[in-house]
Amino acid sequence: MATLLLTNDYPPTISGISTVFYQIWLLLPQGEDLILTPAVKGGGAFDRGCGRDTVRYPAIEARLFPVKLINFFVQFMYTFYLVIRYRVKLIHAGQILNGGAIGYIFERVFGIPYIIWVYGDETKPIYMKSKIHKYFIDLLMKKADRIITNSPIITDEFLQYGIKKEKIVEIIPGVDTEVFFPGEPPKELIERYSIDGKIVLVTVARLTPRKGQDMVISALPDILKKYPNVVYLIVGDGPYRKSLQELSEDKAVSANVIFAGKIAGGELPSHYRLADIYVMPNREVKDSTDSIEGFGISFIEAGGCEKPVIGGRSGGAVFAVEDNESGILINPESIEELTDALFQLLDNPQRAREIGKSGVQRARTFDWKVRAKEISRLHRRY
C-alpha cells in the first residue's frame, strides 16, 4: 500500500523529529517509504545516498503569512501529484498545520485517511494563537484517523485534552546501536577543539532556551574552581547562540565554552564519544511554542555511546532517562542541583562508568526496527 509522509523536518536538517522520520522510513517496505519535504541545501545529495523515495518541493524560508501560504500551495500541488501518481492510500502529517491541513483536504475530497504526529504542547494556549487557530487545530485532530505521540508524557497530554485513547498510537523514538556505540574519541576532533587532556561536558541540541545550555554555562564557575580543566562543548546551532555566548562572557568562562555549531550527521556519534558527561538540563519554557522536550532522543544516543547523562526532570526526559540508573534527573531550574549532579559524576568516576554501562543496555531496548514494524502494522489496518 502506498503511503505518503509530509514533513518539514527531514535530513540533512538535524533535529529529533527529522531523525525519527529518517530512521523509521528507512526501514519501511517499498511503497510505504514515500516522503515529501522541503528542498534544503544538501538535500539532493543526501537523498541520492539514502535510497528512499524522497521528493523535495521548493520552499521559501520566511515567517510572513503570505509567503507561508505560497509554500502551502506548492506543497499541496506536489501532494496532489504524488497521490495520483502513486495511488496513495494513507497520509502521514509530520506537523499538525501544513501537513495536517493537507491531509484534511484529501480526506474530505478523496476519502484518504491521514495520521498526525505530535511532539508536545500542541494543545497549549501559546500554540493556539487565536480562536480561529484553535478551531482549525481541533478540527484537524478530530478528523485525523490516528494521533501518534512520542512518549507516555505526550500521550497523557492529549488524553487530558480529550483525544480518545483508542485514537492514540504511541511510537517511542529509537536509536541505532550499530551507529551509537562505545568507542574512543577521534584524534581529529580532539585536535579540532583543542581538548586534549580536558574533562569534556557535551550537549547536542538546538540552541533554544528549553535545552538548558545556559544552566550549564552558569554552573561552570563553581565547577572550574575544583576542576579547572573542564570544557563545555555545545554542539548545534539556533537562535539562542548569541545569548549563550554573551552569558559565557558574563560568567568569565568563555575560554571553557566551545561552540561547535552544526555538524554533519555522520559526525554525531564521534561528538558523543568526546564527552566525559552528557548534560542537557531540559526544562519547560512558558509562553513558547518550543516549550517542552517531547522525548529527548539525545539521552539515548549518548547512553548508547556509554556516556553518563544528566537531564532535566521535565517532559519526555523523565521517560528517556532512568533516574540514578542510566543517568541523573535534576530540577532544571536549579543551578545547585545541576552542579551537585556534575560533582557526583566528576568526583566518582566509577559511578559515572556504571551509569554509562546502564545507558548502553537501555539504548539496546530502543530499536528502530521495532518502531518501523509498528508503523507497518499500523499501515495494514488500512
| pTM passes above 0.75 | yes
pLDDT at 171: 94
Asked if residue 373 and residue 329 are part of one domain, the reply reads: no
pLDDT at 55: 96
What are the tens digits of pLDDT across the range 53-90? 899 999 988 778 888 899 999 999 999 999 999 999 99
Comparison of pLDDT for 108 and 126, the residue scoring more? 108
Given a cut of 70, is residue 119 above it in pLDDT? yes
Closest by CA position to 352, among listed 300, 279, 260: 279
Given a cut of 90, is residue 302 above it in pLDDT? yes
Q: Sort strands 257-261 and 230-235 into parallel, antiparallel or unpaired.
A: parallel
In contact, 274 and 103? CB cutoff 8 Å: no
Mean pLDDT computed over 240-256: 97
pLDDT at 289: 64
pLDDT at 288: 67
pLDDT at 290: 67
pLDDT class for 233, splitting at 50, 70, 90? very high
Domain total in the chain: 2
pLDDT class for 52, splitting at 50, 70, 90? confident
* Beta partners for residue 55, in sequence order: 36
Asked if residue 208 and residue 109 are part of one domain, the reply reads: no
Buried b (16+ CB within 10 A) or exposed e, 80-94: eebbeeeebbbbbbb
Return the minimum-mean-pLDDT range out of 136-150, 284-298, 330-344: 284-298
Given a cut of 90, is residue 195 above it in pLDDT? yes
181 belongs to a structural domain: no
Asked if residue 156 and residue 33 are part of one domain, the reply reads: yes
What nine digits make up the cell of 85? Answer: 501518481
Asked if residue 313 and residue 205 are part of one domain, the reply reads: yes
Asked if residue 91 and residue 54 are part of one domain, the reply reads: yes
Mean pLDDT computed over 189-198: 97
Mean pLDDT computed over 21-45: 92
Return the minimum-mean-pLDDT range out of 97-101, 179-183, 261-265, 318-322: 261-265
Asked if residue 273 and residue 318 are part of one domain, the reply reads: yes
Chain-wide mean pLDDT for the chain? 93
Asked if residue 207 and residue 149 are part of one domain, the reply reads: no
In contact, 40 and 127? CB cutoff 8 Å: no
Averaging pLDDT over each range in 5-19, 117-131, 284-298, which range is the top one?
A: 5-19
Q: Which domain holds residue 117?
A: 3-174+367-380
Asked if residue 352 and residue 373 are part of one domain, the reply reads: no
The enclosing domain of 226 has a CATH number of: 3.40.50.2000
